[in-house]
């Protein structure tokens, strides 16, 4: 998952829009939308689904965009196992 400052991103190769609304983290793509409870710290984002399952992502610097050969300084978050 890559989240950019302009409220767009890439999840599993699909372009998404993201925002926080009513204390929920919202991800929207052309195929679906998801809303999560979330916890965030300086380097970690934990998404909590309605069924209680969690996914935790760790922030890291991404020096090369997945979608192009150009370098960038956007942040990428990687899912922890």
What is the three-state SS of the chain? CEECCCCEEEECCEEEEEEEECCEEEEECCCCEEEEEEEECCCEEEEECCCCCEEEEEEEECCECCCCCCECCCEEEEECC
Domain that holds residue 13: 2-79
Determine the pLDDT at residue 66.
Answer: 40
**75 has a pLDDT exceeding 60:** no
Total number of domains constituting the chain: 1
Determine the pLDDT at residue 59.
Answer: 85
Q: Can you give the pTM of this predicted structure? A: 0.71
- Binned at pLDDT 50, 70 and 90, residue 21 comes out as very high
């Amino acid at each position: 998952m890559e989240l950019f400052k302009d409220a767009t991103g890439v999840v599993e190769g699909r372009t998404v829009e993201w925002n926080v609304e009513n204390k929920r983290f919202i991800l929207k793509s052309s195929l679906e939308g998801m809303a999560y409870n979330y916890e965030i710290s300086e380097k970690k984002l934990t998404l909590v689904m309605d069924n209680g399952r969690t996914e935790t992502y760790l922030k890291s610097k991404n020096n090369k965009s997945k979608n192009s050969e150009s370098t960038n300084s956007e942040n990428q978050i990687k899912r922890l196992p």
